[in-house]
Amino acid sequence: MADRDRPEPQAHLSVWDAVAIVVGLVIGIGIFRAPSFVAAGVSSEWMFMLVWLVGGLITWVGALCYAELAAAHPHAGGEYHFLSRAYGTSVAMLFGWARCTVIQTGSIAAVAFLLGDYAARVVPIGPQGPALYAALSVVVLTAVNVVGTAQGKKLQIVVTALQIGAMLAIIVFGLFGSAPPQPLSEPVVPPQTAALGMAMIFVLLTYGGWNEAAYLSGELKDAPRNIAKVLTLGTAILVVLYLLANFALLSVLGLEGLRNSDAVAADMMHLAAGPVGETIVTLAIVVAAISTLNATIFTGARAFYAIGRDMTVMRWMGEWDHRRRTPVNAQLLQAAMALALIGLGTVTHDGFKAMVDYTAPVFWLFLLLVGLALFVLRWRQPQRVLPYKVPLYPLTPIVFCLTSLYMLYASVVYTGAAAWVGVGVLLAGAPLLLFKSGRRLIDPLPADTEAPLVLIKNPHPSGDRP
């Protein structure tokens, strides 16, 4: 039986702490690569901007759905906790396995690879430099977060501020720099449904990461009231920054320039600010990758922690360090697995692409299940008083689920063999279900009461939630 006096996560994150983490998670290196692929899939400038706006609206819809789930069920386990309540421990544990071995660690390795690529341009250290930088970044940032949550949070706030500052510099130079703006042109290619679908895939991948806010709900002050603010504010900041950044890129490079560029931000800054601009944008990408990597490491270990509390053979992973306010064992295991994936990625042609292919189908499968969980939990507890309700129910979650279903299809059709490797790793976790706890996951409390996990009791009846 789990010890009821074991240390638990405390509510210590403010709204702006959590917003900084969410923004840092999403504004990564994708915005510096995706616009060229998006431009290749659209027929005109206005459609280029439209798909970014639609992507932002889809992200906002998903954030509203997550806000209801996280407000009703705040917990450091995030999506793991939602799935356990909706479908039981078997589905939740498969998700925990997938997140630990595919989704989170694959994402960490992918961002680390890009960080290594750009860091090697600033300070070259040999042919293996990118891989060495990637591994070193995982080690250093994990160490920062093992020291304590407060240290990881402070680093995230500082780096996110620098990151947004760099984004604003790109926007200002793009919109008001000395480079002559490119004239808007008529459509140069006929619209193609398949190409437009590919463009949306890259847009949504660039917006990806907002769902990590669910893992902060167990440590957010007054989570039932504040989680919706975190998701709404974070999404609004992201949409505004992405629209402005893409309009700046379009104004300087034009649609054809975007299509023909492999480094859109660097090319735009070269035209607007000269060689110094290229150096600035390279450093900005490094900062963005550090921000994303640190935030992903911060939130990712919470899933390791949650599954460790429900799996009898891995209870050591579910230990919470009360003094440091972080799951130290989970952080170390996560780092070890990410380093293993970095090692494997170095033998492929493109480590970053291999990691994206590896994670995509499994990620969208479980995002779809989380969206459906909103319907399941409302159906199971129709009289429950929800702290926050998603607007326009059931239309909003239906849109989110259909989008997730399409992305699941696209991630299988348009990715490489690594996608099936990720699916295989997911299926390989099925035998772990033999080691799940045999007790009931949810206590039979009234429908309008938050039922705590049997294995994770709240030791603070005064209101601070785990």
Does position 82 have pLDDT exceeding 90, yes or no?
no
Helix ranges (DSSP H) in 99-148: 104-122, 129-147
Q: What is the pLDDT of residues 45-61, one digit of tens each?
A: 889 999 999 998 988 89
In the chain, the N- to C-terminal Cα span, in Å, equals: 19
Bond from prior residue into 394 cis (ω within 30 degrees of 0): yes
| For residues 360-370, average pLDDT | 90
pTM of structure: 0.73
Predicted local distance difference test score (pLDDT) of residue 52 = 93
DSSP annotation of 184 reads P
Which token pair is 394? 């059931």
Average pLDDT over the chain reads 75
Rounded to 5 degrees, φ, ψ at 449 are -120, 140
Which token pair is 26? 């999403």
Residue 444's identity, in one-letter code, is P
Which token pair is 404? 């997730």
Q: What is the pLDDT of residues 110-141, one digit of tens each?
A: 888 888 877 887 788 877 788 889 899 999 88
What is d(CA 16, CA 459) in angstroms, rounded to the nearest whole number?
A: 26
Domains, the chain, in order of start with CATH, read 15-435 (1.20.1740.10)
Q: What is the pLDDT of residues 9-47, one digit of tens each?
A: 556 677 887 787 777 767 766 787 788 888 888 888 889
Residue with the bigger pLDDT between 147 and 361: it is 361
| For residues 215-230, average pLDDT | 73
Helix ranges (DSSP H) in 214-327: 223-259, 264-273, 275-310
Count of other CB atoms within 10 angstroms of residue 217: 33
| For residues 329-334, average pLDDT | 82
What is d(CA 428, CA 394) in angstroms, rounded to the nearest whole number?
A: 35
Does position 398 have pLDDT exceeding 70, yes or no?
yes
Phi-psi category of residue 374: left, alpha or beta, with phi > 0 → left and psi -120 to 50 → alpha: alpha
Predicted local distance difference test score (pLDDT) of residue 195 = 64
Predicted local distance difference test score (pLDDT) of residue 456 = 30
Nearest partner of 91 among 465, 441, 447, 456, judged by Cα = 441
